[in-house]
Structure 1
Amino acid sequence: MREVDQRSIRILVDLQACQTNGSARRGVGRYSRALFAGLAGGAAPRDIYGLVSTELPHSASIRDLGAAKVIRPPALPNLLLDRDFEGGVRDAIDDVLWSSTVASVSPDIVHVSNVFEGFYERVPLPSPRVRAPGQVFSATLYDLIPLRFPEHYFRDERFERWYRFRLEWLRQADLLLSISEASRQDAIALLGLDPHRVVTIHGGIEPHFRQVADVGAAHRRLRESYALVRESFILYTGGDDHRKNLTGAILGFAGLPAELRAKTQLVLVCDLEDRRRSHYLEIARAAGLAAGDILFAGYVTEDDLVDFYCCCATFVFPSLYEGLGLPVLEAMACGAPAIGANNSSIAEVIGRPDALFDGNAPEDMARVLGLVLTDKDFAGRLADQGLVRAKKFRWESTTKTALDAFDTALRRKREAGVAAAVAHWSPRRRIAMVAPLPPAKSGIADYTADLLPYLQEYFDIDLYVARNNAPNEALSAQYRVFYADDLYNNIRNYYTVLYHFGNSEFHTHMYSMLRDLPGVVVLHDAFLSGMVGYVDFNLGRSGFFATEMLTAHGSLARNYLLQTPREKGIGDSIAGLPCSRRVLDNATGIILHSPYALRLLEEHHPERWRPQTWIIPSLARCPVAISVGERNSIRDRLGIAADAFVIATFGHITWTKFGDRLLEAFVSLCAKGDQRAHLIFAGELESDDFGYRLKQQIHASGLADRIRLTGYLSDVDYKDYLIAADLAVQLRKITRGETSAAVLNCLEYGIPLIVNACGTMNDYPDEVVVRLSPDPSVAELIAAISELAASDSRRSQLAASGRDYIASFHHVRRCASEYAAAITSFVEQTKTAKVENFAPLLAPYLAATGDPPGAAAYCASYFDARPEYNFSRPRIFLDVSHIAQGDLNTGIQRNVREIVRALYTRTVPGLDAIAVVRTGNDLVEASEWLSGLGLLLPGELASLNGRVVEFRPGDNLLMLDSSWNEYSQFRPVFARAREKRVPITTVVHDILPLTLPPGNFVPGGKEWFANWFHLALEESDAIACISKTTADRVIRYMGEHGRGRPGLRVGYWHNGSEINVPANSVHAPRLEEIVCEPYLLMVGTLEPRKNHLLAVNALDCLWGEGFGPNLVIAGKRGWMANEVLTRIFEHPLLNKRLFFIEQCSDADIAFLYMNATALLALSKDEGFGLPLVEASRYGIPILCSDIPIFHEVAGAHASYVAIDDPARVASAIRDWWAQYEKSVVISSAGMPCLSWRESAESLLKLLLGDNWYWQNTIDGSKSVDDLSENQKVNQR
């Protein structure tokens, strides 16, 4: 186990540098955003949060984290105090208040993107004075240029005071991430920092800075847009700042020979005020330059900047000092020969002396410029080397270096905490320990007894036990022992409570105690589902198990517990889900025993949990070495020959430990002639089918005299077998995050050990164990055992490594010191996060305000408004108000039902879907409707009924089923959602009422729909369409009608298609006769646009010829259906060749699809076309109208028909039928078909993964045909 794996890591990044006027749109802001994006994208298993201001002028533009992980403090109180620019009263109050928000997240690392923000704006810093124990303060260091050039930067005394005050923050930081080695050396030299506290991470280049495919075209673009009048040009980019040395660039260019200047122009990309441009033009004229020699390009777009880099003869950078010199890197990445001043990070980036010059000597710059312009080979070498060097500056490597630096800094803090504990620097305190104790038959009881005497070196300890668990006499004599419920009266006597939790009945009483009396939890088992189940099924708390499972795991638990029979769902959920969430939430700190246990919890709870988590390995002791004589004596006592080669496996013998496979490998080894080998199963054999079969296999092997089943062993006998063994094999099939005591015992006793890659077995280093595959074959076992049996030296190496590993990481004394450090860190961190901790810190500053009561009231208001970050699963609210009022069983409502069903039984952790209906101005959970769908568990309806939902950051509101005439009544709901920054997405199934001609919808339908649609465009942050065709129509409509607010996003996903027929459902008997003859099937509500009338008329043409298949129409009556219904019911061939199935169950629809000759879909238009996908699932051909949406859905897997008149449709059906009889029609097989689960996941990817197709990035929409690629975001 590596030290870096010894804890989970939560990182909070202060992103105010991305928001200030001074930095948001400059290099510091861009660098900060890029570094944060790298941390957020590559930090697993670290937990990354962003901290942004709600008051600064610019948005941080964070799109790499969900809103749930962005912390937005309330506005700082306006105390009307003057600033003294030296950390005075106002700044001090701001810093303390800001720190209270930082503390509320309990971060391990607080990283400030730029300390030097806020001279002109209000930018607080987290105060080092309220830093929690063990917490790392870090910052990005760009440069210390004002200290290098004080004569230029400290002319304003206020700025100097402010700057030097902020320097003190840097000096108190635990870690500085320097963007160049030059800046790192400055920090060490100018601030006197320890070198290990400053780490160089460099920076990366945005991917669009690269060589263009056609340099000639790029050059033409520049000539059309800028006054480029010479054959070639030299490029400079920079700001109007003393150190950027714009004057030096002009004078260096002026020093070139006249014949070179005649062919070359100097292009200055720099945003200058008119007076400054005139100033530099005067310098140029004084140096002898003509009007056309210099081009002041001003501000240029990123695209133009890339073209300038790619087309320049050389890029020159005469800056007198840089933190990194990003323009040089960008130029090199674009293939420009780059030269620069020989100072700071510029030399570091360019990397070759012959491309450098003295920035203070224009003649030296002219020398190198002339060399590049006249020596093409030299320029080519510079360009080639620049491309290679630029590739080394990648955000991936910057991010990795930063994360490694965080890990190292945190490790140093932890080691310091452990050292402080060992040195007893902290005062001795009394703690309460709640745990099972011997003689309880519990491994955790034994563990606790082993830990107690060593932990007592650091704390006074009182023991609290269940009433049925009186400890043995030895413990009772050494410690004060109380019953667990006495702790409620005694809690004030203790620094904290230490709970030992495991997955058994010995811990049931702790569950409610931890809720009432929070404390530090040692979580011996990641899974507590067995213990929770015991409370329900053995202690009589009916419903407790289901409630806790739903709280812990949401849809995953529901998916298990809705299974039938109920007992199977319960058993599967106990085996598959930890159910530890409540313990994680109520603890003040978590101690685990392995990285695997942490990974297991993080896998089930990607939303994480509030308390810090440390990993402290399980306890072990290195026993006294045993002599050969003593070992032989023990073997003799056990009846084992001194020369026998003993292969042993230790612990309870069950089907989960591959004992049968080990036996088979042993028998094969013996068959090869190894007469010395013996196999010992050292433990109790399970009394089940596996145990019976293993005994039978041993008997049948003919090796019963060399195979031993010991049965239950006393401690003495168990240790004797450890001493007697030559080789141990410890395998597992299933793990719940527990640490195998038998594996530790083998390593303690120096037994060479074979394990498989399962659970915590993966945490041991390769030099300590021989690790097989997770599911090792018999051959793999034979090879590993044979190799070790044949090599004394390899076994000796493993034995020594195992003992050393135990001594280094698992020794009980070391572990006890880590317990002491962890407990202290947890308690002090919890104290630091409490609001009452900050009042004493504010007191002296409030007294200095002149109005202490008023200032205190302002600060109290801030604390009241401070966001408490909720470490719970993000939620997506699904509005089902319309369908809950009445399910008309339309295609849209099938979509609603199935999406909700899929999300409510989702098998991916980390999200809660909650169906809601509007009641007045509130949303309440749609419990009655959900119950009707069979999605609630027994007893859940009563607990949910009428429960009003409250939004919080990180939620999403999806208008999945919004009514055309009630949308405006959601406005109060939308307003509350926006207050909590909850995005609102409206689902648009189609906009056909706006695009189809009159006669397809009821009178007034277009107006109703338009009103709803316009409201949706006005109120929504995003529109989710069920097809790309619909999305394109939405975008085009917005452009043509000037609808859609700036920032509105549009995306699409596809419907699922399987028909979920209940297992006990059967189709209607009357369908049996219908399916006996070939038929075309039409599925869908009867309404004009579905073209049922066209289909009947077309088939009539064929039937009149005595030809053609039957027609089966399955669907309910829709609007304006009288004409087609009259035609159907008066048709002479009704129920002979024409069949109308009006009341169709899912079983009926499935049966009709299953037996159909083909699907006939002649719609004038659709939002999606679900019947096509359903038909493909049943493998039947598709004959459909030639419309865009059907091409999107079916592609090359359907036959298309023009729908202009019945005769033409009849002709197409006749031609298709002729092909069908030859078995050469187009097959629907291979058509993309999503399940409803896949459809729901695709919708979530759209909503939560920022996977949008288009965004309105400008003021006012454009037609979809006019959108640039920057506005159309590729569907990933």
Structure 2
Amino acid sequence: MRIVLDLQGCQSVSRLRGIGRYSMALAKAIVRNARGHEAWIVLNDLFPDTVESIRHAFSDLMPVERIAVFSLPPLNLYRGVDDWRTRAAEMIREHAIAELEPDLVHVSSLFEGYVDNSVTSIKALYPEVLTAVTLYDLIPYLNPDKYLVDGGFKQHYMGKIAGLKRADVLLGISAYCGEEAASELRIPREKITNISSAVSDAFRPIEFSESERAAVLRKFNIRRPFVMTTGIVEPRKNLDGLIVAYSRLPAELRKRYQLFMVCQATESNSAKLYELAKSNGLSRDDLVLAGYVSDKDLIALYNLCHLFVFPSLHEGFGLPALEAMACGAAVIGSGTTSIPEVIQRKDALFDPLNLPEMTTMMKRALDERAFWDLLRSNAIERASEFSWDATGKRALEAFEKAHAAHGSAVAEKRADEAQSHYGQLLDALGNINLPVTEADFLSSAHAIAANQRVGRVPQLFVDVSVLCEHDAKSGIQRVTRSILLHLLKSPPAGWQVRPVRLDRSAKEYRYANAFWRTLHTGDAPVDEADEWLDTQQGDIFLGLDLVADWVPLVEQWFVRQRRRGVKIHFVVYDLLPVMHPDWFPEVIALCFPPWLKTLSHVSDGLIGISRAVADDLRVWLDTNPADRQRELKLGYFHLGADIDSSQPSKGIPADAPETLRKLRSKPTVLMVGTVEPRKGHVQAIAAFEKLWSDGLDVNLVIVGKAGWGLDEFAKKLEQHPEMNRHLFWLQGASDEFLAQIYQASTVLLTASNGEGFGLPLIEAAQKGLPIITRELPVFREVAGEYAYYFDGASAEALADAVQAWLAANAAGQVPSSAGMPWLTWAESADRIKAVLLGENWSHVVPGRDFHM
């Protein structure tokens, strides 16, 4: 079966309460025990801040691709059932889930959505879809005078009751809960399964040091041993009754203990509770109220309390009592509804409306050590009988039973109706006989389009934002163009490759259709215009072009896409502007840190152009940890080196024959790369000036444009006395001319102090040209044993290395570059595909710990 779990109960405010904890734990238990079934999770995009935490919570249990986010039109709070957009949203949600072709849909929390953006329904659009619901209680239904006084909420709640009756499977969280549904709602008992409940393994006895204990108590202003309870401030939780019963304890007991309530009370509710305590003779210090308490603190408080009292009048299960027992607390509680199923001991149960009886039992638990010891031993033993895995298995058995009875009929219908679902949705929306606006139609249309899955081919978006505006024919643009061309010619099986560009004015991405047509490769785009991206879960964004100055400004676009389930990956060419900002213009040095920070926050994976870059990323992330919950994957690939396949530049200058003759006339050392601080030209010129002064007849030829930061040095080069005698600076050499320069040279020198890859090494090796290179990790990675290495930053160190190499070359003892391995651009593109789609990552940076 394909089981789809609607986990909106973990997105709404319920995530902070018992329903959220129950929904999360049950979903995990179902996924853990799926026994060959395929579990999916669906989430509501109107709760954007919860998506990442839920994905993180399931990261070790299921593929992230099976956690889908459906889109809905924005909703108004306190909306009634007579609101067109609300009715439409229910149908849009059902349609979005139907696009997943489920065998069964489970709704973790049905009754929400009146005061938040939850949207749930049962068979509002597709009655053939098997649907299961968790039922926690029927308290509002059974107590309408207390809970259904608001007319709008009453309509909302009773609509959910009607939906509950249409469900195929009802999962009761206790036997009492299921019996209430059968007797009060006339739901057939064969549809009801008692799956019970349990608590997280985190709820367990913990030994605290004296300092740890003191820190917890100080945090909550607890000064004495304490009697504890938890529950929101509402009549059925009976907090008033507990305060009164506690006030009737003997004075000497009250002096020894405090009453501590975790109740998330509002300011007005707190005032009322303190006033009640005061009117019953309690001092302000006798009662302590706490608002929201994290699970970590709650577990500590359960462990440290002397007695836990659960005085509730009506519970679907009574999870707080079980949580406290699992932590080893002595627990007493109401003998009503489902609570006896949890506590089980009759001598630990009281009538919650009989306050003297509650007082007597508290006094006995506080006064009689033997009774208190019995309660504590019972707690651990009884709590061990509850298991989330057992609860999950019961739920799965109920799903299997329902599917066995109806599954074949559903499967037959699915094949016939998959293509008609869209039409059904449109017809149903058209038949909603309620006032509607153009804005309602437009927002609904956007949501429907965003949810479309059937028949859709996943897309690999390749960022060409800089390339499509200006192709420099070299550097990063050469990489972007080469990889893109091969991805378009040979897309991953089952994928569509789409070039995309950043619309800087809107801070959104568009398809780069106009640019694609200029490439004359791959399938021509259908759309004429550069339309906005149509993204869906499972798509991949590859930040191949370097848009470092703009990516931080559009961070929220990437956050939204990742939330939708689009995987975000960036290629990182190097970290040099961060590691050595003095090597770069200020504008580059300033934009790289925020660019890297954004990448570490929004990406699923970062791909270096060498293992050395990936290692640098790892070090940077260790010292600049990302604020993220999910892991960040690191990988790398190597650049291609077949220039002919990357649209090489053409052109031979008129004086080329004479220049090449001079280079061939004596030993010639070639440097290829832009003349800028990090490339080592200053050291090289100083070294060769020393060699020339010593009488060595050797050429130095520099191929590369004048870059940033060396204006004075560039003037020195242009006016150098050895210019065009022993020194040659060729600033505008095309790829065609460079190939001839390689052939005329004796050895390649790469003196750069830092690189992301080292393409000149490979270009030299392709032509059989030996290599002298600086000892850098990336150069070792690229050239291995096929190069001669030097170290040191002085002119003397490099001059000695060149002289030693020339001597070794004359003796035939220098390393040959002829066997150096290298990739074609097609192979380079394949390596990227292997990382992106084959999960061929080299390292995983774990996310920060997050307890859900």
Whether the TM-score (by the shorter chain) exceeds 0.5 is yes
- Note closer, same or farther for the CA distance 1:234–1:1204 as it changes in structure 2 (3 Å cut): farther
Task: Provide Cα deviations, 1:60-118, integer angstroms capped at 9, x if missing partner.
Answer: 6675355993221335799xx995x7x79997777567666666666543433322224
Q: Which residue of 1 aligns with 2:314?
A: 321
Q: What is the deviation of 1:274?
A: 3.6
Q: Which residue of 2 aligns with 1:221?
A: 215
Q: Which residue of 2 aligns with 1:246?
A: 239
Paired residue for 2:19, among 20, 23, 28? 28
Task: Kindly provide the amino acid, as one letter, of the partner of residue 28 in structure 1.
Answer: I
Paired residue for 2:679, among 1062, 1081, 1090? 1090
Q: Say yes or no: does 1:174 pair with 2:165.
A: no
- Note closer, same or farther for the CA distance 1:1048–1:220 as it changes in structure 2 (3 Å cut): closer
Q: Which residue of 1 aligns with 2:182?
A: 188
Q: Say yes or no: does 1:115 pair with 2:107.
A: no
Paired residue for 1:363, among 355, 359, 364? 359
Q: Which residue of 2 aligns with 1:923?
A: 511
Q: What is the deviation of 1:295?
A: 2.1
Q: Which residue of 2 aligns with 1:341?
A: 334
C-alpha separation in 2, matches of 1:920 and 1:268: 53
1:1057/1:1170 contact within 8 Å kept: no
Q: Which residue of 2 aligns with 1:266?
A: 259
Q: Secondary structure at the match of 1:131?
A: coil
Q: Which residue of 2 aligns with 1:1057?
A: 638
Q: What is the deviation of 1:951?
A: 1.9
- Note closer, same or farther for the CA distance 1:246–1:349 as it changes in structure 2 (3 Å cut): same
Q: Secondary structure at the match of 1:189?
A: helix
Q: For residues 225-236 of structure 1, what are the structure 2 equivalents within 5 Å?
A: 225-230=219-224, 232-236=225-229
1:877/1:915 contact within 8 Å kept: yes
Q: Which residue of 1 aligns with 2:68?
A: 69
C-alpha separation in 2, matches of 1:1132 and 1:335: 87
- Note closer, same or farther for the CA distance 1:1184–1:303 as it changes in structure 2 (3 Å cut): farther
C-alpha separation in 1, matches of 2:642 and 2:465: 25
- Note closer, same or farther for the CA distance 1:197–1:95 as it changes in structure 2 (3 Å cut): same
Gapped regions of structure 1 (runs ≥ 5)? 418-611, 615-821, 1040-1045, 1066-1070, 1217-1232, 1255-1268
C-alpha separation in 2, matches of 1:46 and 1:1038: 34
Task: Kindly provide the amino acid, as one letter, of the partner of residue 306 in structure 1.
Answer: I
Q: Which residue of 2 aligns with 1:1119?
A: 707
1:234/1:313 contact within 8 Å kept: yes
Q: Which residue of 2 aligns with 1:292?
A: 285
Q: What is the deviation of 1:877?
A: 1.3
1:336/1:386 contact within 8 Å kept: no
C-alpha separation in 1, matches of 2:803 and 2:33: 60
Q: What is the deviation of 1:198?
A: 2.0
C-alpha separation in 2, matches of 1:1051 and 1:886: 32
C-alpha separation in 2, matches of 1:859 and 1:385: 56
Q: What is the deviation of 1:246?
A: 1.8
Q: Say yes or no: does 1:393 pair with 2:388.
A: yes
C-alpha separation in 2, matches of 1:1059 and 1:1184: 22
Task: Provide Cα deviations, 1:817-864, integer angstroms capped at 9, x if missing partner.
Answer: xxxxx2x6644665565248745x975x73xx6xxxx65978766775
2:105/2:130 contact within 8 Å kept: yes
Q: Which residue of 2 aligns with 1:953?
A: 535
Q: Secondary structure at the match of 1:69?
A: strand
Q: Secondary structure at the match of 2:223?
A: coil
C-alpha separation in 2, matches of 1:1210 and 1:334: 73
Task: Kindly provide the amino acid, as one letter, of the partner of residue 38 in structure 2.
Answer: R
Q: Say yes or no: does 1:876 pair with 2:460.
A: yes
Q: Which residue of 2 aligns with 1:52?
A: 44
Q: What is the deviation of 1:291?
A: 3.8
Task: Provide Cα deviations, 1:985-1007, integer angstroms capped at 9, x if missing partner.
Answer: 76664565577465x34xxx433
C-alpha separation in 2, matches of 1:212 and 1:1079: 74
- Note closer, same or farther for the CA distance 1:258–1:411 as it changes in structure 2 (3 Å cut): same
- Note closer, same or farther for the CA distance 1:254–1:911 as it changes in structure 2 (3 Å cut): farther
C-alpha separation in 2, matches of 1:1171 and 1:978: 33
C-alpha separation in 1, matches of 2:486 and 2:302: 51
Q: What is the deviation of 1:294?
A: 2.8
1:1092/1:1124 contact within 8 Å kept: no
- Note closer, same or farther for the CA distance 1:917–1:263 as it changes in structure 2 (3 Å cut): closer
Task: Kindly provide the amino acid, as one letter, of the partner of residue 586 in structure 2.
Answer: K
Larger-Rg structure: 1
1:68/1:953 contact within 8 Å kept: no
1:984/1:1020 contact within 8 Å kept: no
Q: What is the deviation of 1:870?
A: 2.7
Q: What is the deviation of 1:227?
A: 2.0
1:106/1:833 contact within 8 Å kept: no
2:89/2:444 contact within 8 Å kept: no
2:641/2:762 contact within 8 Å kept: no
Q: For residues 443-522 of structure 1, what are the structure 2 equivalents within 5 Å?
A: none
Q: Which residue of 2 aligns with 1:410?
A: 403
Task: Provide Cα deviations, 1:863-887, integer angstroms capped at 9, x if missing partner.
Answer: 7555141332332311224346666
Q: What is the deviation of 1:164?
A: 3.7
Q: Which residue of 1 aligns with 2:194?
A: 200
1:874/1:910 contact within 8 Å kept: yes
- % identical equivalent positions: 26
Task: Provide Cα deviations, 1:239-267, integer angstroms capped at 9, x if missing partner.
Answer: 11222222344355456665554443332
After TM superposition, the score normalised by the length of structure 2 is 0.68
Task: Provide Cα deviations, 1:375-409, integer angstroms capped at 9, x if missing partner.
Answer: 6854663564367456x225xx6555444433332
Task: Provide Cα deviations, 1:1098-1154, integer angstroms capped at 9, x if missing partner.
Answer: 6988999999xx999997556257848977997999999999999889x999x99xx
Q: Which residue of 2 aligns with 1:448?
A: none
Q: Say yes or no: does 1:307 pair with 2:300.
A: yes
C-alpha separation in 2, matches of 1:409 and 1:905: 48
- Note closer, same or farther for the CA distance 1:60–1:910 as it changes in structure 2 (3 Å cut): same
Deviates more, 1:273-282 or 1:1129-1138: 1129-1138
Aligned positions, number: 777
- Note closer, same or farther for the CA distance 1:73–1:142 as it changes in structure 2 (3 Å cut): same
- Note closer, same or farther for the CA distance 1:320–1:1062 as it changes in structure 2 (3 Å cut): same
Q: Say yes or no: does 1:126 pair with 2:121.
A: yes
- Note closer, same or farther for the CA distance 1:958–1:100 as it changes in structure 2 (3 Å cut): closer
Deviates more, 1:1202-1211 or 1:62-71: 1202-1211
- Note closer, same or farther for the CA distance 1:963–1:194 as it changes in structure 2 (3 Å cut): closer
2:672/2:704 contact within 8 Å kept: no
C-alpha separation in 2, matches of 1:307 and 1:88: 45
Q: Secondary structure at the match of 1:295?
A: strand
Q: What is the deviation of 1:296?
A: 1.9
Task: Kindly provide the amino acid, as one letter, of the partner of residue 144 in structure 1.
Answer: L
Task: Provide Cα deviations, 1:929-948, integer angstroms capped at 9, x if missing partner.
Answer: 766xxxx5xxx466779774
- Note closer, same or farther for the CA distance 1:1057–1:283 as it changes in structure 2 (3 Å cut): same
C-alpha separation in 2, matches of 1:255 and 1:1139: 97
Q: For residues 1237-1248 of structure 1, what are the structure 2 equivalents within 5 Å?
A: 1242=835
2:227/2:260 contact within 8 Å kept: yes
Task: Kindly provide the amino acid, as one letter, of the partner of residue 834 in structure 1.
Answer: G
Q: Which residue of 2 aligns with 1:706?
A: none
C-alpha separation in 1, matches of 2:148 and 2:501: 62
Task: Provide Cα deviations, 1:455-513, integer angstroms capped at 9, x if missing partner.
Answer: xxxxxxxxxxxxxxxxxxxxxxxxxxxxxxxxxxxxxxxxxxxxxxxxxxxxxxxxxxx
- Note closer, same or farther for the CA distance 1:909–1:375 as it changes in structure 2 (3 Å cut): farther
Q: What is the deviation of 1:143?
A: 1.3
Gapped regions of structure 2 (runs ≥ 5)? 56-63, 609-613, 647-659, 806-822
Q: Secondary structure at the match of 2:210?
A: helix
C-alpha separation in 2, matches of 1:240 and 1:1248: 50
